[in-house]
Amino acid sequence: MLERFKVPEQDRVYVPQERVRAATEAIFRHNGVPEDDAVTSTDVLIKNDLRGVESHGVSNGLRRYVAEYGANSLNPKPEFKVTRESKTTMTVDADGALGIHVGPWAMQVAIDKGKEFGMAAVAVTNSGHLAGCGYYAMMAAEQGMIGHCMTAGGSHQTVPTFGSKPVMGTNPIAWAAPARSMPPFLFDVATTQVANNKIGLARRIGAQIEPGWITDLDGEPIMDPIDPPDTGDYYLLHIGGTRENGSHKGFGLALMNEIICNELSGYGPGPVHGTPGGHFFQAYDIEAFTDREKFLDDMDDLLKFIVDVPPASGFDRVIYAGLVENEDEKKRMKDGIPYHREVIEWFESYCAEVGIECNLR
């Protein structure tokens, strides 16, 4: 994550992960989520926060989820319904579950089927926010497989190349692969220039938006650095930004994601129907293709080769996706997670309001 998105030092409150975990689990339980599922859902958010993926941790997610549970637009006690199944595939109606509720279960099904048949995928419909895709891809990597995850919503945030109106969400995507001694590869990105949550983060911490990240309400790319506009006053651009700089590649990637998450799952086109998330979880069994021990050694060789590339002028080092996340996780397990004090104040005021114990400081 760019330095500008980090919480400024003077606004940081360092919270031990077990404390924010306990408070978050209590909030899920208070909203009707069964105890085991509250633990799993919370783990998605806290792992994101530990890995430095603040845009998909408790800061932006939790108050949204609480509002959605409160408005009955999320089902805290869903019954997952398998609508189609083959040896390597499963399609599931999540019965209005939050994405972080159904996601860990669905990814584990893909992993288990993949171990048996070489590769497998689970498509999930009728579900809420997934909080990014990295967590799920990493579940596979932690079990010695290659993981892949995508999600496509029905929100209209992102303007297609040459277009004037937004038609898709940020349609994020992730892949993860284990190595032997090097930190695992974890590629976890929105198919937009920045995740929409980052605009909110930038607003909270007073950072600026780069040229070519967003458009005005006519779909015209804003090519000057500006303060983050208010929600509703801008649209997002796909990876690349402008056509000359290859935004058709980000747009195509987002559309592929939409096709697999919403059309292949049978959920129907998100841009047309405005339906919430369809998710896709896939796992590859390494042993089905090659010797797993050789794979892990080769991954170490590859990743060492990358970090040994001499940096360009003005930069400290070359990194790969997952390296800094791994370093952040180790550091934050020890020192606590640096939250913006405003986030802590929200936890404390919400917990006081609904009568939950909340001990974050």
Residue closer to its own copies by CB (options 16, 246) is 246
Q: Which is nearer to its own copies, 33 or 133 (CB)?
A: 133
Q: Which is nearer to its own copies, 223 or 352 (CB)?
A: 223
Residue among 42 and 170 whose Cβ is closer to its own copies: 170
Token pair, residue 44, equals: 């998605």
C-beta of 315 vs 334, nearer to its own copies:
315
Sign of the torsion angle spanned by Cα atoms 141, 151, 174, 69: negative
Smallest gap from residue 202 Cβ to its own copies (A) = 13
**Distance in angstroms (rounded) separating the CA atoms of residues 356 and 62:** 15
Whether 67 contacts 99, CB under 8 Å: no
User: Least Å distance between CB 194 and its own copies?
Assistant: 8
Comparison of 98 and 323: residue with beta carbon closer to its own copies: 323
Do the strands 214-215 and 12-15 form a parallel or antiparallel pair, or are they unpaired? Answer: unpaired
CB of 190 to its own copies, least distance (A): 9
Do the bridges between strand 158-159 and strand 337-340 make them parallel or antiparallel, or are there none, so unpaired?
unpaired
Task: Give the integer Cα–Cα distance in Å for 336 and 20.
Answer: 10
Instruction: Give residues with Cβ within 8 angstroms of 141, minimum separation 6.
Output: 147, 176, 177, 178, 184, 185, 186
> How is residue 188 written in tokens?
């976890």
CB neighbourhood size of 324 (10 A): 15
Cβ contact 244:259 at 8 Å: no
Instruction: Find residue 278's DSSP bridge partners.
Output: 152
Nearest distance, CB of residue 253 and its own copies, angstroms: 7
